[in-house]
């Protein structure tokens, strides 16, 4: 396979422009193609979540391009104490756990030809660059890739700390956290 590390250019957004939104949706549809028949993964359902997340405080998006082709993305936003993200945890959190704002990564996706090239990590790190939050959290399906995705996040320094089921159509997800920098 061609090494795509040198060809991927990263674009950073703090607002969701129409072009960036369409590029993200195109990558999402490709990345999630095997799951698009499930209600929670349909592109229109994801687009609604994306639009809601983009309107929330601290929105940030990193898009990777190989030439003109969007090949990967990561996005998230700031979550403060009282955010629904924290309220959906299955186990009570320790007192004060949510006092400091955190960055919640809502989605990471990379097209198949760029997987294993370091592209996902570069996009992830670009998303975190310059963020004021001291911690970053994300949710992962522990069954995704037979656990491979969760092990990848563990290699990036994330540790499981709780679980949640964000919606009735969603699988139970592992909540992971690490320092932002």
Do 71 and 32 contact (CB within 8 A), yes or no? Answer: no
Q: Is residue 1 part of a domain?
A: no
Q: Is residue 144 part of a domain?
A: yes
Q: Is residue 86 part of a domain?
A: yes
Q: Is residue 40 part of a domain?
A: yes
**Spans in the chain with pLDDT lower than 50:** 1, 4-5
Domain interval for residue 50: 8-179
Q: Is residue 65 part of a domain?
A: yes
pLDDT at 1: 44
Q: Is residue 82 part of a domain?
A: yes
Round to whole Å and give the CA distance between 151 and 159: 10
Query: How many structural domains comprise the chain?
Result: 1
Q: Return all residues near 143 (Cβ < 8 A) that are at least 6 apart.
A: 171
What is the value of pTM for the model shown? 0.91
Q: Is residue 56 part of a domain?
A: yes
Q: What is the CATH number of the domain that holds 78?
A: 3.40.630.30
Biggest CA pair distance of the chain: 49
Assign 82 to helix, strand or coil. Answer: coil
Q: What angle do CA 148, 51, 41 make, to 5 degrees?
A: 40
pLDDT at 145: 75
pLDDT at 154: 97
Q: Is residue 3 part of a domain?
A: no
């Amino acid at each position: 396979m061609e090494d795509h590390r040198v060809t991927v250019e990263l674009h950073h957004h703090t607002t969701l422009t129409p072009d960036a939104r369409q590029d993200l949706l195109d990558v999402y549809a490709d990345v999630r193609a095997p799951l698009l028949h499930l209600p929670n993964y349909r592109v229109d359902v994801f687009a609604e979540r994306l639009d809601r997340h983009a309107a929330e405080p601290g929105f940030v998006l990193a898009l990777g391009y190989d030439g003109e082709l969007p090949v990967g993305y990561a996005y998230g936003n700031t979550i403060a104490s009282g955010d629904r993200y924290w309220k959906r945890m299955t186990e009570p959190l320790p007192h004060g756990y949510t006092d400091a704002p955190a960055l919640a990564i809502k989605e990471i996706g990379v097209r198949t030809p760029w997987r294993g090239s370091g592209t996902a990590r570069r996009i992830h790190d670009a998303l975190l660059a310059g963020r004021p939050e001291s911690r970053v959290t994300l949710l992962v399906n522990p069954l995704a890739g037979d656990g491979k995705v969760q092990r990848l996040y563990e290699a990036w320094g994330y540790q499981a700390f709780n679980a949640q089921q964000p919606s009735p159509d969603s699988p139970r997800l592992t909540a992971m956290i690490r320092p932002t920098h």
